[in-house]
């Protein structure tokens, strides 16, 4: 089996892109990644698009083949991968398998979501489709409401305080302020978070990932292809990639304070990459809501159960802390264009491993991990990246 390398990365700024359609976003990100890889478009053999709701929101479902046409490379193998908010991470995983297996030497992964300016429906209606609609639709619950159950369960079980958990939003905004692609590049205070409007008790507006549009892209290549591209630049390997599922619905789970899919996917990815949590220098967790960031750190093995918030409070998630986390702004402040998020996370970690993160740079970062969650944990994708030169 071949090793898999990230030869190029590209992305758009995340924003409410009223002036750009889904096509503009995808093509911009893809061309940036192709240019960064130093390849010709015609060298791409397969495309994997991560997206959750283009069919529902834009009335446009067939994104893989469409992108091939838009890029002027019809004939390639084209796929759309859907795993709700983990669509991007799942697309990376599928592309990883395609190169690892030796079937393809050069593939393009594009994550995209356009939540604002929807043509056919509303973003909140689209997002709740990531739950089991036969059981949830009639309750009228939104995605924020379901995560409010998780928040309450965590605080009750571990006697944790909201002011400690809400610090995740302050942390993310601090780093987003130095990220030119971030949707909310501005610092916020804990007081502002705790006084922001209540969305679903206890989740406040400034503890929620925003609605936004964006696209990120990667070019993955095999060892064989890499020899053609040798240019002496920093090189990043996608060394481990895993996807796992959990009992789907919140109402069927006995414990809301952990996501089994994160535990399973991360253990497998760690094994594949030959690393342990203590070797990881930079982490991107799927903090769609502040409490989730805390839970993910525990499930990934970076903190003991019930103590993820302590790492945050002690400053251990800072760029010079024990486990630098969400150092480009995380979902809360870089933004969460649903099906694109898992690809943005890899983009952010590669930026760190290449030493290109500017003021947010983690000194000497060599190993990075991304964790991307679909639904309320129904699917989790974990990708582990290593700087190899
Ligand atoms: C597994 C998973 O990933 S599940 C997660 C899936 N994603 C979600 O569920 C999205 C959750 N977020 C939301 O639904 C929405 O962003 C909400 C409900 C929190 C807020 O939406 P709205 O009530 O429409 O807020 P609205 O857009 O009116 O914004 C009000 C103001 O706050 C700002 N704002 C809105 N959301 C955020 C945010 N999350 N962070 C910072 N600022 C924000 C807006 O820019 C706006 O500022 P302005 O008045 O200066 O222009």
On whether residue 235 sits in a domain, the answer given is no
d(CA 337, CA 111): 9
d(CA 157, CA 86): 27
As for the ipTM of the complex, it is 0.94
On whether residue 9 sits in a domain, the answer given is yes
HSE at residue 2, side-chain half, CA atoms within 13 A, is 22
Total domains, the chain: 1
Residue 134 pLDDT:
83
HSE at residue 298, side-chain half, CA atoms within 13 A, is 18
Letter string b/e over residues 343-370, b meaning 16 or more CB atoms within 10 A of that residue's CB:
bbbbbbbbbbbbeebeebbbeebbbbbb
Instruction: Compute the distance from residue 172 Cα to the ligand 1 centre, in Å.
Output: 15
Q: Whose CA is nearest to atom 44 of ligand 1?
A: 210
Whole domain around residue 24: which residue ranges? 4-119+211-226
d(CA 68, CA 65): 5
Q: Is 336 marked active-site?
A: yes
On whether residue 130 sits in a domain, the answer given is no
Angle (CA) 288-94-34 rounded to 5° is 90
On whether residue 66 sits in a domain, the answer given is yes
Check pocket membership of 199 for ligand 1, CB cut-off 6 A.
yes
Q: Is 106 marked active-site?
A: no
d(CA 278, CA 302): 8
Instruction: Compute the distance from residue 174 Cα to the ligand 1 centre, in Å.
Output: 18
Cα-Cα-Cα-Cα dihedral sign, residues 151, 156, 157, 159:
positive
Report whether 199 contacts 146 (CB < 8 A). Answer: no
Check pocket membership of 333 for ligand 1, CB cut-off 6 A.
no
On whether residue 157 sits in a domain, the answer given is no
d(CA 373, CA 291): 13
The CATH number covering residue 115 comes to 3.40.47.10
Nearest Cα to Cα of residue 92 among 2, 214, 213, 217: 217
On whether residue 76 sits in a domain, the answer given is yes
Cα-Cα-Cα-Cα dihedral sign, residues 206, 209, 214, 216:
positive
Check pocket membership of 5 for ligand 1, CB cut-off 6 A.
no
Residue 233 pLDDT:
76
| Residues of the chain predicted below pLDDT 70 | 230-232
Rg (C-alpha) for the chain, rounded Å, is 19
Q: Give the single-character DSSP code of 364.
A: T
Cα-Cα-Cα-Cα dihedral sign, residues 109, 243, 80, 98:
positive
Check pocket membership of 285 for ligand 1, CB cut-off 6 A.
no
Check pocket membership of 211 for ligand 1, CB cut-off 6 A.
yes
Residue 232 pLDDT:
65
Report whether 379 contacts 338 (CB < 8 A). Answer: no
Ligand 1, from 208, 336, 340, 373: best to mutate by most atoms within 8 Å of Cβ?
208
Residue 268 pLDDT:
98
On whether residue 31 sits in a domain, the answer given is yes
On whether residue 261 sits in a domain, the answer given is no
């Amino acid at each position: 089996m071949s090793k898999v390398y990230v030869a190029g990365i590209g992305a758009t700024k995340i924003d409410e892109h009223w002036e750009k359609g889904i096509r503009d976003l995808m093509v911009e990100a893809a061309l940036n990644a192709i240019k960064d890889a130093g390849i010709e478009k015609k060298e791409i053999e397969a495309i994997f698009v991560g997206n959750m709701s283009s069919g529902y929101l834009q009335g446009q479902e067939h994104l893989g083949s469409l992108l091939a046409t838009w890029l002027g490379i019809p004939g390639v193998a084209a796929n759309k991968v859907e795993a709700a908010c983990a669509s991007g991470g799942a697309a990376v995983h599928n592309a990883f398998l395609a190169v690892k297996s030796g079937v393809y030497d050069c593939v393009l992964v594009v994550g995209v979501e356009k939540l604002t300016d929807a043509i056919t429906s509303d973003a909140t209606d689209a997002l709740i489709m990531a739950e089991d609609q036969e059981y949830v639709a009639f309750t009228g619950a939104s995605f924020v409401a379901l995560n409010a159950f998780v928040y309450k369960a965590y605080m009750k079980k571990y006697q944790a305080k909201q002011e400690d958990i809400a610090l995740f939003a302050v942390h993310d905004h601090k780093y987003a302020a130095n990220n030119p692609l971030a949707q909310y590049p501005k610092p916020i205070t804990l007081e502002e978070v705790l006084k922001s409007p209540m969305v679903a008790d206890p989740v406040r507006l400034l503890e929620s990932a925003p609605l936004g549009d964006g696209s990120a892209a990667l070019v993955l290549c095999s060892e064989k292809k890499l020899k053609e591209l040798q240019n002496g630049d920093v090189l990043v390997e996608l060394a481990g990639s895993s996807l796992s599922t959990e009992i789907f619905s919140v109402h069927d789970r006995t414990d809301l304070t952990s996501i089994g899919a994160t535990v399973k996917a991360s253990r497998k990815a760690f094994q594949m990459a030959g690393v342990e949590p203590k070797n990881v220098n930079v982490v991107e967790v799927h903090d769609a809501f502040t409490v989730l960031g805390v839970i993910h750190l525990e499930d990934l093995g970076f903190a003991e159960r019930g103590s993820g918030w302590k790492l945050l409070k002690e400053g251990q998630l800072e760029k010079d802390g024990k486990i630098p986390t969400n150092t480009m702004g995380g979902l809360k402040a870089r933004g969460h264009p649903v099906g694109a998020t898992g690809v943005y996370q890899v983009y952010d970690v590669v930026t760190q491993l290449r030493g290109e993160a500017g003021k947010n740079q983690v000194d000497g970062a060599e190993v990075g991990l991304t964790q991307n969650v679909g639904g309320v944990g129904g699917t989790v994708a974990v990708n582990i990246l290593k700087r190899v030169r």
